[in-house]
Structure 1
Amino acid sequence: MPPIKDLPPDAQPREKLAQRGAAALSDAELLAVLLRTGMVGKGVLQLAQELLQLPGQGGLSGLLQASQGDLKHIKGLGPAKRAELLAVLELARRAMTEQLRQRPALSSPEEVMRYVQLHLAARPHEVFAVLFLDSQNRLIALEEMFRGTLTQTSVYPREVALRALHHHAGAVILAHNHPSGQVAASGADRVLTRALKAALALIDVAVLDHVIVAPGSALSMAQEGLL
Structure 2
Amino acid sequence: MRADLPARRPLAKHGAVLEAVSRACRTAAGDTRAMDIASAPPRVADARAAAALVADLGIGPLERAAVLYLDPEWRFLGRADFAGSADSVAPPLRTVVGEALRLGASALVLAHGHPSGTIAPSAADLAYTRLLGRVAAAVDLRLVDHLIVAGGRIASLRDDGWM
- TM-score normalised by L of structure 2: 0.74
1:104 maps to 2:43:
yes
> Residue 115 of structure 2 aligns with which residue?
179
Is the Cα contact below 8 Å between 2:43 and 2:73 reproduced in 1? yes
Partner residue, 1:132:
69
In the superposition, relative to structure 1, how do residues 110 and 98 fare at CA in structure 2: closer, same or farther (>3 Å)?
A: closer
Q: CA deviation at 1:214?
A: 1.0
Greater Rg by CA: 1
User: Is the contact made by 1:129 and 1:176 (CA closer than 8 Å) also made in structure 2?
Assistant: yes
Matched, 1:166 2:102: yes
Cα distance in 2 for residues equivalent to 1:127 and 1:92: 20
Q: Give 1:206's aligned residue.
A: 142
Are residue 217 (structure 1) and residue 160 (structure 2) matched? no
Shift of 1:98: 5.1
SS of 2:91 mapped into structure 1: coil
> 1:114-133 counterparts in 2 under 5 A?
114-117=52-55, 119-133=56-70
Partners of 1:93 and 1:105 lie apart in 2 by: 12
| C-alpha deviation, 1:92, in angstroms | 3.5
More strand by share: 2
2:53 partner letter: Y
- TM-score under structure 1 length normalisation: 0.54
Report what 1:157 is aligned to: 93
Contact 1:113 1:219 in 2 (8 A): no
- 1:1-227 aligned within 5 A: 92-97=16-21, 102-106=41-45, 108-117=46-55, 119-148=56-85, 149-150=87-88, 154-227=90-163
The structure, 1 or 2, with the larger RCO (C-alpha pairs under 8 Å, 6+ apart) is 2
Distance 1:94 1:223 in 2: 23
- Structure with bigger helix share is 1
Question: Are the aligned partners of 2:44 and 2:50 in contact in 1 as well (CA < 8 Å)?
Answer: yes
* Alpha-carbon distance change, 98 to 110 in structure 1, aligned in 2, over 3 angstroms: closer
Q: Structure 1 176/195 Cα, relative in aligned 2: closer, same or farther at 3 Å? A: same
Identity %: 31
Q: 2:118–2:151: 8 Å Cα contact kept in structure 1?
A: no
Q: How many angstroms apart in 2 are the aligned matches of 1:168 and 1:116?
A: 21
Q: Is the 8 A contact 2:50 2:109 kept in 1?
A: no
CA distance in 1, matches of 2:44, 2:84: 24
- Relative to structure 1, is the Cα distance of residues 144 and 205 closer, same or farther in structure 2, using a 3 angstrom cutoff? same
Q: Over aligned residues, Cα RMSD in angstroms? A: 2.1
**1:136 is matched by which residue type in structure 2?**
E
